[in-house]
Chains A and B, each alone.
Chain A
C-alpha cells in the first residue's frame, strides 16, 4: 500500500515535476574524478552524508552490542555466559564480567551511542544529505570543510575504539568522565580525551558549515518562514554544537593536563587513593569538571532530539496529507528551546552541594524548558487531526515517537525538581528517562527518516513487510527494556552497578523481578533489527545494480528535496537550474487546487501540464545514476 494513489488518483503526475540534475552538463566538468577523490575524500554532501550514515550505523550496532553484553550480566548476575569471554581476561573471567569490565562497557556504550552514533547520524548523515537538497542548494557552503569534518569524526572514532586494546582497558569513568576518578583512571581515559578533541573538531567544522549553508544558500523565494521544520531544527542544532562544545573542549584539555602533566585543575589537596595521599599540588575542584562537562552535556541532549523532531515533522506532514498546524509555534518553540538549553545544565548537579539560590535558579529554568517541548509535541498531535493518515513504515515510527518522547519528557519533570531529584538522581529512573527520549524517541525518528529518504538516495523503497516487522518488534521490546527502569529507580536501584542492584537489600527484590525480563527484551530487540539490516543491504545491492522501483517523488511530498531527481549524481550539483520557491513547505490538500493533494514548493501557480510545452518547467529528465 506504499504507492497509494492520492485523492484525485493522480499519483504519478507530480513525479514529472522533478528538476533535472546537472548530469547533462557533465562534459563541462572536466575529466572524471579518480576513485579516491570520488569515494574516499569526496567533497559532495550526498556522499559525505552516506559516509556519515554508514559509519554511524556501524557504531550504533556496536554500542547496542555492548549493551547486550552488559544486560547478560544484569539479568543473571553471577551466571556464567561464555559469550562474555570474548571481552578478554581484563574485562571478564569465567564468563562473568568483572566490575572493571562492566564499567568499561558502560562508559563505551554511552560514549559511542551519544558521540559516535546518534549525533553523526542525525546531523552528519541526515543533515548533510538532506539540507542542501531541501533548501535548493548545489552543495553545502564549504564542501572541503565538510570532507574534513567527516574524517575528523572517523579518526576520533578509531581512537575511541583503539582504547579496547589499551593496557588497563577502555575509558571506564562513565561517558561523563567525572573527576577525580577519571584523572586516576587507566590510560584508556586519555584515549577518550584525545578522541573527544577530534570529535569536537569535527562537530565544530560541521556546525559552521550547516549554519552558513542554511543562512546563505537558500533558494530564491525560500524565506525563513517557508523553510521545512527539519531545516529549522538543523539550524538551531548547529548553534547548540557551535557554542556549547567549546567548554567541553576546554575541560578535556584541562583533564588531559591533569592526567598527563600532573596538574591539579580538578584535584583537591589531600586526596587519598587506596590509603595513600595523592602527590599533587592540589587546589583544584572536581566540580569544575562537572560544570564544563554539563555546559555541553545539556545542549547535547537537545542536539540528540531536535533533528529527530525535524524528521518527525516531515514524515507526519507528508503522511497526513495536510499542512502542519501551528508552524509558527514550532519555529518559536525550537528557537526558545535552543536558547534555554544553555541555562539549565546544573540540574545534573543538584546533589553537589549547590546553595538554595543556584538550585532554585536551575530548577526554574528546567521547568520552563519543558514548555516548548510540550508545544512542539502538541503541534504534531494536532496535525494528525483531520488528516488522511497513511500508515507507511516511516509514519509508524514517526507516530510512535510522539508518545515515547512524551513519556521520556514527562519523567524528566521529577528529575528537574531539585527535591525529587535528591531521591531519583543516579538511579535507574534517570536511565529510563533519557533512554525513552533517545531510544524509542530519537532512534525511532531516525528509523523513520531512513525509510522516508531511502528512495531519494537509492531509487528504491525499503520493503514494507520487513519494515513493519522491524517496527512492531522494536516498539514492543524497546518498551520491555526501558519501562521497568522507572520502577527500579523508584525502588532505589542505583545506576552503574555491575550486578544490577542485587547486592543491596533494598534493591534486590525489584532488581530480580525486572532485570531478567529487561535483558530478554534486549536480545529480542536485537532479533527484530535483523529484518531492518537485511532490508537495507538487499535494497542497496539492488539499487547498485540499477534496479530502481520508484520515481523521483514516491511519497508525493512538497519539499525541495523531492524536486531533485532520484539519487542526484555526485559532484555535479543537485539541480540543473536552482529551484525558485513560491510557497511554504507543507501545502498539502490546498483548497483550490484539484490536480493533486499536494502542491510542491518549487511549482509556480497554476501548474501547467508537462510535455505539452509552455509553462515554466524544464522538460523532465531522469538523470542516470553515477556508476
Chain B
C-alpha cells in the first residue's frame, strides 16, 4: 500500500503501482485486460457477422479483386513494427532511459500515422472506383471492419501523444506509475495489432 508521507489532494487508492499480493496485479493491469476481453467480444461479433454473411452468400469475391494487397501487406509490416517499438519503449522506461523510451513511443506514433495514411490512400482508391460501403456486403464489411479498427488506431495515437506530452510530467513525480501507464497503453496497442493480424487475411487474402 502506498505511503501517506506527503500531503496531496488525491485519494490514495491501494495497488495503483504495487501489485496486490494474492492477485499479483496492479489495478490498471487487471483493468486493461478486462477492457481487452470486451474488445475481443466486439471484434468477435463482427467476425461472426462476417462468417454468417459470407457463408450465406451465393458468391463472394476474393480480396484482391477489389483491394490493394501489396499496400495492405506493407501496412501490416508497419503495424507489427509499431508493436515492437512500443514494447522497446516500455523496456527502456523500465531501465530508466526516459530519452530512449520517448523515442520509441514517438516511433510508434509515427508508424500508426503511416498506417492511417495508407488506409486513407486505400479508401480513396475505392471511392474513385465507385466502390462504396453500399455497393456490396463485401465492401460494407471491408469499410466497417477496417474503419472501426482505424478508430482504435486513432484512439491509441491519442493516448500515446498524451503520454509523450502532458502526461510525461508524471515521469518526474512517479516514474513507476508512468512506466505502468506505458505498459498498459502498450497492451492496448498490441491488441490493435492483433486484430489487424486477423483482419488482414480475412479481408484481403481469403
Contacts and interface: CB of A to CB of B under 8 A. Distances in A.
A and B touch in the complex (CB under 8 A): yes
Interface of A: 28-31, 33, 137-139, 141-143, 204, 207-209, 211-212, 215-217, 242-247, 249-251, 253-254, 257, 261-265, 280-281, 283-285, 288, 291-292, 295, 571-573
Contacts of B14: 137-138, 216-217
A615 B148 CA distance: 60
B38 A30 contact: no
Nearest to A28: B7
B31 A212 contact: yes
A350 to B, nearest CB: 19
Contacts of B171: none
Contact of A249 (B23, B31, B42, B132): B42
Given A30-B9, A208-B34, A216-B23, A250 B133 contact: no
A243 B28 CA distance: 18
24 contacts: A30-B7, A31-B9, A137-B14, A141-B27, A142-B28, A143-B13, A212-B30, A215-B30, A217-B13, A242-B37, A243-B41, A246-B38, A247-B45, A249-B42, A257-B133, A261-B134, A261-B140, A262-B134, A263-B133, A264-B134, A283-B57, A284-B137, A285-B52, A292-B45
A184 to B, nearest CB: 15
Contacts of B23: 215-216
A257 B53 CA distance: 15
B42 A283 contact: no
B206 interface: no
Contacts of A280: 134
What 7 A-B pairs come out closest when comparing CB atoms? A30-B9, A247-B45, A250-B45, A246-B42, A263-B140, A246-B41, A262-B134
B37 A243 contact: yes
A179 to B, nearest CB: 12
Nearest to A31: B9
Contact of A262 (B46, B56, B57, B133): B133
Given A30-B9, A253-B144, A283 B45 contact: no
A141 B35 CA distance: 14
Contact of A250 (B42, B57, B143): B42
Interface of A is mostly: helix
Contacts of A242: 34, 37-38
A246 B45 contact: yes
A185 B171 CA distance: 52
Contacts of A262: 133-134
Given A243-B38, A251-B45, A280-B134, A208 B31 contact: yes
Contact of A29 (B7, B38, B144, B148): B7
B38 A247 contact: no
B134 A284 contact: no
B97 interface: no
Contacts of A208: 31, 34-35, 38
B20 A264 contact: no
Contacts of A291: 52
Contacts of A211: 30, 34
Contact of A288 (B30, B34, B49): B49
Interface residues of B, number: 42
Contacts of B46: 250, 253-254
Interface in B1-25: 7-9, 11-15, 20, 23, 25
B136 interface: yes
A215 B24 CA distance: 11
Given A216-B20, A285-B53, A143 B11 contact: yes
Given A250-B46, A263-B134, A573 B11 contact: yes
Nearest to B144: A257
Contacts of B25: 216
B13 A139 contact: yes
Contacts of B135: 281
B39 interface: yes
Given A212-B30, A217-B14, 6 more contacts: A30-B8, A204-B38, A212-B31, A245-B38, A283-B56, A295-B45
Nearest to B35: A208
A212 B20 CA distance: 11
A594 to B, nearest CB: 35
Interface in B102-152: 132-137, 140, 143-144, 148
Nearest to A261: B133
Nearest to A571: B11
A463 to B, nearest CB: 35
B26 to A, nearest CB: 8
Given A246-B42, A263-B133, A264-B137, A142 B27 contact: yes
A138 B134 CA distance: 52
A207 B137 CA distance: 34
A285 B50 CA distance: 11
A261 B148 CA distance: 14
Contacts of B140: 257, 261, 263-265, 281
B53 A283 contact: yes
A141 to B, nearest CB: 5
A288 B53 contact: yes
A216 B33 CA distance: 14
Nearest to B59: A283
A280 B20 CA distance: 55
Given A281-B140, A283-B57, A204 B45 contact: no
Contact of B49 (A143, A244, A250, A261): A250
